[in-house]
Structure 1
Amino acid sequence: MTPTITAVTGFVIWSLFLLLLMELMRTRLVLTKAIPANGFKPDNSNLSPFMQRLARAHANCVEGLPIFGGLMLIAVVTGRSAITDPLAYVFLATRILQSVIHLSSLSALAVTLRFSAFAVQMGIAVYWSVRLVVA
């Protein structure tokens, strides 16, 4: 697999991991009768702060997948993954870092670091976009 295919696959798997983690934790809450099965809000706003951050970290991945994943898939389908390959692993690492920071804390420093990881992803996406259009 090329770095681009590996990164887009990793992005999907990371999104799935966050979803599975959330659903396992929700299942435990239902089985222990802490929350009724129909008692969950989509953003987990009626649950712990960690569960709220987990819902947002997962949503961030789902929101970004069409953009970032789309750019990588466009590069592969058009035979131009040489454009995305060099930064594909950097993209994936900063995506995972963003989520891990999000899960860890909402302190001012954590939010700044999380945004910095996202800004790197945005910069990569803009670079890829320009290269895919111009090349």
Structure 2
Amino acid sequence: MNATILALMGYIGLILVLLIVMVSYRTSLIQKKVKLPNSFSTDAAGEPAFGLRINRTHANAIEGFSFIGGLMLLALATDSTAITDGLAFWMLGARLGQSVTHLASTSVMAVQIRFVFFLLQVAIAIYWLSMFAVKFI
């Protein structure tokens, strides 16, 4: 198994863990009678601050999957994992860093750190895309 496959599995695993955390958190709100089961909105409006952060962290991970997962899947589909393997774990680490920072705080410093993690993901994705362009165009 190569780095691209492991990083892709890690990314999918992160999305699932965030989903489980969100469902567990919402279940606890229901059990404590803080919220009704039918009162949750897709944007987490009306939830406590941590609920909003969980919701946004999960949504951000899914949004990022379109270009991160897409490029990793492109590498696997075209037998081009030599392009993605070298930075696959850096990409996953940046995604994990962004998610953990988002869950931990919304302070100015935390938002700036989160943005650095996001920029790292974008930079790696641009590099990968340019390498695919060189190979296939």
| TM-score interval for Structure 1 and Structure 2 normalised by the shorter chain | over 0.9
Aligned residues: 135
Paired residue for 2:74?
Answer: 74
Partner deviation per Cα, 1:106-125 (whole Å, 9 max, x = no partner): 11111111000000000000
Identity of aligned residues (%): 42
How far apart are residue 47 of structure 1 and its match? 1.0
Distance 2:108 2:87 in 1: 28
Q: 1:80-111, CA deviations, whole angstroms, 9 ceiling, x for partnerless residues?
A: 10000000000000100001100111111111
**Counterparts of 1:109 and 1:30 in 2: how far apart (Å)?**
32
Runs of 4+ in 1 over 4 A off after TM superposition: none
Secondary structure of the residue aligned to 1:37 is coil
Aligned mates of 1:121, 1:102 — CA distance in 2: 15
TM-score by length of 2: 0.96
What does residue range 1-135 of structure 1 map to in structure 2 within 5 Å? Answer: 1-135=1-135
1:36 is paired with a residue whose SS is coil
Partner AA of 1:101 in structure 2: T
Task: Determine the C-alpha separation between the residues in 2 that align with 1:57 and 1:30.
Answer: 21
Query: How big is the shift at 1:59?
Result: 0.3
The alpha-carbon deviation at position 63 of structure 1 amounts to 0.6
Tell me how far apart the structure 1 counterparts of residues 45 and 111 of structure 2 sit (CA, whole Å): 19
Q: Give the Cα–Cα distance (whole angstroms) in 2 for the partners of residues 123 and 32 of structure 1.
A: 43
Q: Give 3-state SS (helix, strand or coil) of 1:79's partner.
A: coil
Q: CA deviation at 1:39?
A: 0.8
Deviation at 1:32, TM superposition (A): 2.4
What amino acid is aligned across from residue 83 of structure 1 in structure 2?
Answer: I
The one-letter code of the counterpart of 1:98 is Q
Three-state SS of the structure 2 residue aligned to 1:134 is: helix
Q: Could you list the runs of 5+ residues in structure 2 that have no partner in the other structure?
A: none
What is the RMSD computed on CA atoms of the aligned residues? Answer: 0.8
* Matching residue's letter, 2:69: G
**Cα shift readout 1:50-70 (whole Å, capped 9, x = no counterpart):** 110111110001111121000
